[in-house]
Structure formats: structure tokens, C-alpha cells
């Protein structure tokens, strides 16, 4: 259930905000749905299966101790076309090209602008390999809006493996407890919580919660809910005391992930 709250960030307690890419900043269904007229009534089902297989392959290879670039898995996952014989298989090349330049969600650019204007570091941590991430970031005009674009390729394992999330501190130099991790994928939020990041779930579809033992610090409906403290300052802390978690917009503190 989506909690009607905003997440108020204070630069004195949160130094960086790291985003998942696919599904969070970029619409993974845009490639298919923009061509729904040509594909026909099975467009949404095709897009859902393509995404499901893409993720399934990443988890299978990770559990098997193997790594294959995410773009290769994305290409293989589009074998989902075979499940829909009424769809012209000749559209495969067009869909793959479109996936390299997915539409960014409308709330992504304003969110990044707010956070960077407030002095926070921003980064991407994605299963995507460097080349496909570079294409997506460039197509969205986001090239100057990140301090780092981090691919799990550097760890040779996909999320939710701890080594994937460990890349964040190594690349941006901010400890996990001072980093907010933002994802629309609940499984990704669970992995970030298990690692020790402070995750926010962008529950765009209003889905029921899962993984109760790996909760987010907050659940919100869109990136519009991420905002900065008006003063940019938090109450003074005694030396050695832990930083305060992000606050919900109604003034209650969001719960820590455990």
C-alpha cells in the first residue's frame, strides 16, 4: 500500500541519493507501448514477459555464479516474441533499438534537479552494462545530472547480490548509512535494505508490499515525493550519535530498514 508521504532529505544527514535506472528513472515498457498500434492487443503482455524474462535471466546467472552482460540478457529475453505468434517478429530489431533510448519518467528530471541544487550527490546503480546505460542517460539528457553512473558489470554480479550494492561507496565515497537508495523494484529495495543502504520504494503501480523483514525507510508513489528540508539543516546531534533517517512529509520520521 502506498503511504501518502514525502521523503524530506537533509544534506547534513543524507549526502547522496542513488537511483536504480530501469523502471525507476527509465520506463521499461516504453519501447513496446510506443508501438502498441503496430504490435496489437498483446503489446502489454509482451512487454511484461520481456521484462520478467530479463530479470529472471539475471537472477539465474547470479545464482549460478556466472555473469553475462545485461544487454545480452535483454536481447535473449525478447525471445518472448515467440509466445505471441500474432505479433510480427520483424519488429524485434525496432524494439531493441528503442530499448537503448527508453523514455525517462516525467518526474525524473525535476527530482534530479532538486537534489543537485541542494548539494546532494546523485548516482545510478544499475544492472545495465555501461554502454546501454550511457545510451539511456544521453537520450534522456541526463549526462550532467549524475556524479557517477555505476554498472554492476564492475562486480560481475547482478542485484540483489551484496557485491553489487558495495560498488556505491567505492565509487562515490559516501558510506551506506548516509546514502538513500531509490528504486521502483521491490526486490531491489529488499537487496539494498539487506546491504545496509536506506532504501525508498517508488511504488508507481500501488502494489502490495513484500519482503516484510527487509522494509524500505519509506514508500511513495513517485519521485516527486523526494524533497529537501526547507532549511537544509537538521537539529544538532551529539558527537557520535547516528544520523537521523529521512523524514516523511507529515513530520514523522520514516522507519529505518532493518
Closest CA to 125 of 180, 65, 61, 78: 180
Q: Return the SS3 of 126.
A: strand
How many Å apart are CA 80 and CA 246, to the nearest integer? 41
Q: Which of 20, 27, 129, 188 is catalytic?
A: 20
Is residue 221 within 8 Å of residue 204, measured between CB atoms? yes
Please say if 103 is a catalytic residue. no
On whether the CB atoms of residues 254 and 246 are closer than 8 A, the answer is yes
The SS3 of residue 202 is: strand
**Phi and psi at residue 42, in whole multiples of 5°?**
-95, 10
C-alpha–C-alpha distance, residues 126 and 59, integer Å? 14
Positions marked catalytic:
20
Amino acid at each position: 500500500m502506498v503511504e501518502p508521504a514525502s521523503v524530506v532529505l537533509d544534506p547534513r544527514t543524507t549526502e547522496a541519493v542513488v537511483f536504480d535506472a530501469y523502471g525507476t528513472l527509465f520506463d521499461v515498457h516504453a519501447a513496446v507501448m510506443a508501438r502498441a498500434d503496430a504490435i496489437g492487443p498483446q503489446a502489454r503482455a509482451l512487454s511484461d514477459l520481456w521484462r520478467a524474462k530479463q530479470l529472471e535471466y539475471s537472477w539465474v546467472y547470479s545464482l549460478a555464479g556466472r555473469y553475462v552482460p545485461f544487454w545480452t540478457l535483454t536481447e535473449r529475453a525478447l525471445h518472448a516474441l515467440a509466445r505471441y505468434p500474432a505479433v510480427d517478429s520483424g519488429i524485434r530489431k525496432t524494439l531493441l533499438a528503442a530499448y537503448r533510448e527508453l523514455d525517462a519518467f516525467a518526474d525524473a528530471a525535476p527530482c534530479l534537479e532538486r537534489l543537485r541544487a541542494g548539494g546532494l550527490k546523485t548516482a545510478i546503480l544499475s544492472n545495465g552494462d555501461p554502454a546501454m546505460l550511457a545510451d539511456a542517460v544521453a537520450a534522456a539528457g541526463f549526462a550532467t545530472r549524475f556524479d557517477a553512473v555505476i554498472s554492476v558489470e564492475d562486480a560481475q554480479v547482478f542485484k540483489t547480490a551484496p557485491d553489487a550494492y558495495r560498488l556505491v561507496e567505492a565509487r562515490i565515497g559516501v558510506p551506506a548509512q548516509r546514502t538513500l537508495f531509490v528504486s521502483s523494484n521491490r526486490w531491489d529495495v529488499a537487496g539494498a535494505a539487506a546491504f545496509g543502504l536506506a532504501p525508498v520504494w517508488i511504488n508507481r503501480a500501488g502494489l502490495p508490499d513484500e519482503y516484510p523483514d527487509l522494509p524500505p525507510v519509506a514508500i511513495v508513489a513517485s519521485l516527486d515525493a523526494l524533497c529537501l528540508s526547507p532549511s537544509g539543516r537538521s537539529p544538532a546531534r551529539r558527537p557520535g550519535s547516528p544520523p537521523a533517517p529521512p523524514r516523511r512529509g507529515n513530520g514523522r520520521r520514516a522507519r529505518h530498514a532493518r
